[in-house]
Structure 1
Amino acid sequence: MTRLRWALADGWTITLRDLKHWVAQPWQIVFGLLFSVMLVVTFGYLFGGAIEVPGGGDYREFLMPGMFALTMLFGLEATYTAVTTDANRGVTDRFRAMPMAGSAVVVGRASADMLNSVLTLAALVVCGLAVGWTWHEGIGRAAAGFGLLLLLRFALLWLGIFLALVLRSAEALMALQILVWPLGFLSNVYVSPETMPDWLAAIAAWNPLSATVGAARELFGNPGWGGDSWPAQHAVLMALVWPAALIAVFFPLSVRAYRRLSR
């Protein structure tokens, strides 16, 4: 219990350090929020008029749960950049030389990123309300939907931390972006997988992002694409299983990669 208490205290210290960086450089958060709002405006108003929602309904209500999840996915790049920068500047090595818990740096980074994600999600919710989106199933189910979105972010940030500690290359960020964008678009965020070829629709249906988006639409009471596939019929379950699997794999790998980190 003493070791756990000190591990949590060390992790909170690292979290406060990252929060102070945001206060000193708030433009990073501001630009991230503006980018998310720009995507909502672009797809909601420029392209939305040409897209039909399966079963009818307003496209912006169909779009917003997908935009919430997509923003959680894009946070993967921010996590990777922050961890890589600390590693390349020698900050991580200084932490490793100090008497602190081995998990403190990665746990602190995760806590800071989750706080950032809550702020980003809240801003995007306000944007959604402004363009006509809302939830229709009560505050309890809405809270569950937001919880699943943050659970996805929590799972993905461990993937970002692990990749940053293993690759430790700013140049690899471009390769990561090349992977993130197809993962985001090959889903049910913007259109129904039913409009895709069968083989592509199957990939989109089993995409972890699609599971969270489908579950969020169901919990918010927003128009959804439905579908006859097993993941489509069990979206809430898959929105729990996918993040749990990612955390089970990449959390211990992240801590292990940090402990073995060397210059």
Structure 2
Amino acid sequence: MKYEIPKLLKEHENLIKGTLRYSNEIIFKREETKPWDSKLGGCPYLKNSKDYPIDQFGKPMLFLAQINLADIGDLDELPKKGLLQFFVANDDMFGLEDPILLKYIEDFEENEGDLVKEHPYENEEYNSNLPFSHSGKMYFTSREMPMSSSLDLFREIFMKKLSEEEYEKLSDDCYSSDSRIGGYPYFVQNDYIGFDDDDFLLLQLDIDEECGIMFGDSGNCVFSITKDALKNRDFSKVVYDWQCC
């Protein structure tokens, strides 16, 4: 889906178009998933329960999401195949102050008989800190989006070049909530990670009624990586943040 420049902002069309990026917007459905599907929660692709990630204190990490990269379109920065899994520490801060883990599985098999079918640690204690009430399958829609008005970089680029009316219109037009891969993140409070042209949005999970996603009070989470680190498949460089009202 292409982004249309509002009539009020036609004079600044080239400036705005210079910030356009493609994103894959996520729709969640409460459906059963295969081990290799793109999913929110549930059981990750796993050959042996002993391989499930454990944090520095010996506690199983929270499995937030898995992306089957073959499902993603229009994002040339990402590998064309493989699975990307997102894990954070299991605590009441959704792992904000602890190390996170992103696992990239380049080659995987699609034989359910050889794979773990149920989450090895899912119980009441594990589920109590999940930022969603239901697991589900992810579906993606590609769209073109302008820079998020919640970025510090947005203010640097547009504030002095647009009139007050134009700036307010563009800010409203560039409200980048919802869940996505690629494009730009939305920061509920402030752009503490300083997301800029050299960064790539690996995943944003935002408020969703279907699966009950909620980080704190009306919050969301962001996983960001530099484009150089992504090119080198160095997922140890991922930055994680979540914010709420």
Return the TM-score normalized by structure 2. Answer: 0.29
For normalisation by structure 1, the TM-score amounts to: 0.28
Q: Name whichever structure is richer in helix by fraction.
A: 1
